[in-house]
């Protein structure tokens, strides 16, 4: 659980990182940044900042902000219905460095490591390194996780409709929607 004061602090830091990446946002957008702590109480290590620009029945655009070395846990976007195979998403690195892990041949010397104590919940180990300007598209229902490099990172995400509350995490203790203490 996160306090409102913690949320405001993370929002300010995320807005500063977006500015550092050359991304202009409004005050209203800065105050709408989500600090997704995954319910584990280790936000600086496990989680990310999320600014949603648009999320309609057809498309979604977001900025993902990662602090130095921060990891977003392994998850997938499952089928939603017979006509909706799940979220297809494209990541485009805007600033910093991101290590993305997807199915494929195991990377021999990966740059990132799963967070201490959670290693067993990270099953995909093919590394894709995203530098500014690089992008990668994930098909629906593809397991993936990612970690920022030593300076942190900003990643633009473009996708079909995002239903974050339906994401399936490999770690059964992860909760996608952050609880804010009153």
Tens-digit pLDDT profile for residues 164-174: 899 999 999 99
The Cα 113–Cα 116 span in angstroms is 8
180 is a domain residue? no
Give the confidence band of 20 by pLDDT, cuts at 50, 70, 90. very high
67 is a domain residue? yes
175 is a domain residue? no
**Number of domains comprising the chain:** 1
Helix (H) or strand (E) holding 8: helix 4-20
165 is a domain residue? yes
pLDDT in the model for residue 87: 97
Give the confidence band of 118 by pLDDT, cuts at 50, 70, 90. very high
pLDDT in the model for residue 177: 85
43 is a domain residue? yes
Contact partners, residue 26, CB within 8 Å, separation at least 6: none
What percentage of the chain reaches a pLDDT higher than 70?
100
The Cα 23–Cα 16 span in angstroms is 10
pLDDT in the model for residue 181: 85
pLDDT for 182 beyond 80: no
Give the confidence band of 120 by pLDDT, cuts at 50, 70, 90. very high
Which of these, 21, 2, 164, 7, lies nearest to 96 by C-alpha position? Answer: 21
Q: Which two tokens stand for residue 29?
A: 């957008």
Q: Which two tokens stand for residue 42?
A: 């280790």
b/e per residue, 78-89, with b = 16+ CB within 10 A? Answer: eeeeeeeebbbb
Exposed (0-12), middle (13-18) or buried (19+): which is 147, by Cβ within 10 Å?
buried
65 is a domain residue? yes
177 is a domain residue? no
Rg (CA), the chain: 15
Q: Please report, for the domain that includes residue 85, its CATH number.
A: 2.60.120.10
pTM (predicted TM-score) = 0.96
Boundaries of domain holding 55: 4-169
182 is a domain residue? no
């Amino acid at each position: 659980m996160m306090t409102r004061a913690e949320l405001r602090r993370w929002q300010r830091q995320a807005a500063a990182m977006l500015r550092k990446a050359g991304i202009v946002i409004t005050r209203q957008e800065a105050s709408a940044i989500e600090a997704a702590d995954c319910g584990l109480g280790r936000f600086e290590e496990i989680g990310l900042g999320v600014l949603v620009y648009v999320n309609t029945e057809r498309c979604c655009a977001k900025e993902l902000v990662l602090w130095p070395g921060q990891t977003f846990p392994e998850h997938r976007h499952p089928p939603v219905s017979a006509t909706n195979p799940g979220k297809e998403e494209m990541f485009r690195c805007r600033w910093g460095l991101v290590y993305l892990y997807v199915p494929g041949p195991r990377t021999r010397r990966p740059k990132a490591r799963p967070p201490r104590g959670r290693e067993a919940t990270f099953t995909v180990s093919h590394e894709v390194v995203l530098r500014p300007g690089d992008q990668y598209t994930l098909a629906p229902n593809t397991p993936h996780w990612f970690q920022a490099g030593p300076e942190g990172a900003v990643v633009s995400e473009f996708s079909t409709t995002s239903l974050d509350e339906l994401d399936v995490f490999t770690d059964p203790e992860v909760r996608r929607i952050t609880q804010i203490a009153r």
